[in-house]
Amino acid sequence: MNIFRKLDDYKSYLAKIRKEGRCIGFVPTMGYLHAGHVSLFERAKQENDITVASVFVNPLQFGPNEDFERYPRDEARDLAALEKAGVDAALFPSVEEMYPQGTPKTKVTVSGVTERLCGASRPGHFDGVATVVMKLLQIVSPDRIYFGMKDAQQVAVIERMVADLNVPVTVVACPTLREADGLALSSRNVYLTPEERAQAPALYHALELAEELFAARPEITADELQRAVEDQLRSQAPLGTIDYVDVLTFPDLEPIDGPLKQVQRFIVAMAVYFGKARLIDNRVFDNPMLK
């Protein structure tokens, strides 16, 4: 595996790959890799000649009171996971390498889709995400870029940015990988105490409830579904504090009036604090009646 810490070194490698006419799949990550990340590497490997991954904890997307400093990092473990997954090239740029002039004066802001959900709870977060992804796209120059649907709002933001700015890349959204009890894999799960970990599958159960309720009564409204999901989350996860539960159109992430059966595609999304950990999860529903 080729390991790059300097962007200029990657540039020479890229020139060689391009000369050979090979296509590139790219998976950006913040490291502390788990099987969810590996599923993206595997998908990229299936669909491209060369798979590139980056490990960069991007300070720009963390708020002042968030977990940038204590975000879990383990470079040796990540290198082993990347090697095992058969990734061809791994980028490990430092903050100085990515932002040599300090905080960038140019930022990418995607409006609308960033207003609700994590965009409302984490002001500036998606500016940081869109800006670093745009930078990484310029650096890596992939044909395809891979994201997990666990971060569905991130997918919506990047797809909109790519469409609005004619970025020459295909965005591929991949399914969420889960533990056996339904908890979505996340680097932040290491923050959970055993007691919190035992209650954390409540997010998954709440999504299952949403699915059951919508299947049983497609005329249910977004408000009704949201309240039912919140009630169950509260009773199943007393150690958790709900940040948000929302039911919105997908991918535009706009509020919904009236019965959900009239909406082509919607998302049930939630964020719940368990002590130091803030967990997110979601499910996207397609309405077969409206195809």
189 part of the interface to ligand AMP, by CB under 6 A: no
41 part of the interface to ligand AMP, by CB under 6 A: no
Choose the binding region for ligand AMP from 1-9, 118-126, 169-177, 227-235 (rule: CB under 6 A): 169-177
43 part of the interface to ligand AMP, by CB under 6 A: no
281 part of the interface to ligand AMP, by CB under 6 A: no
Supply the minimum distance, in Å, between the C-beta of residue 187 and ligand AMP.
5
Of 40 and 130, which CB lies nearer to ligand AMP in the complex structure? 40
Return the residues of window 67-106 that contact ligand AMP according to CB under 6 A.
none
Judged by CB under 6 A, the residue of 4, 10, 25, 29 near ligand AMP is: 29
Catalytic residue flag (residue 37) = yes
185 part of the interface to ligand AMP, by CB under 6 A: yes
Do residues 214 and 223 touch, judged by C-beta distance below 8 A? no
61 part of the interface to ligand AMP, by CB under 6 A: no
Supply the minimum distance, in Å, between the C-beta of residue 40 and ligand AMP.
5
151 part of the interface to ligand AMP, by CB under 6 A: yes
Q: If you search the block for the tokens 């299947």, which residue do you land on?
A: 215
State how far Cα 92 lies from the chain centre: 19
Q: Catalytic site residues?
A: 37
> Would you tell me which residues interact with ligand AMP (CB under 6 A)?
29-30, 36-37, 39-40, 147-148, 150-151, 174, 176-177, 184-187
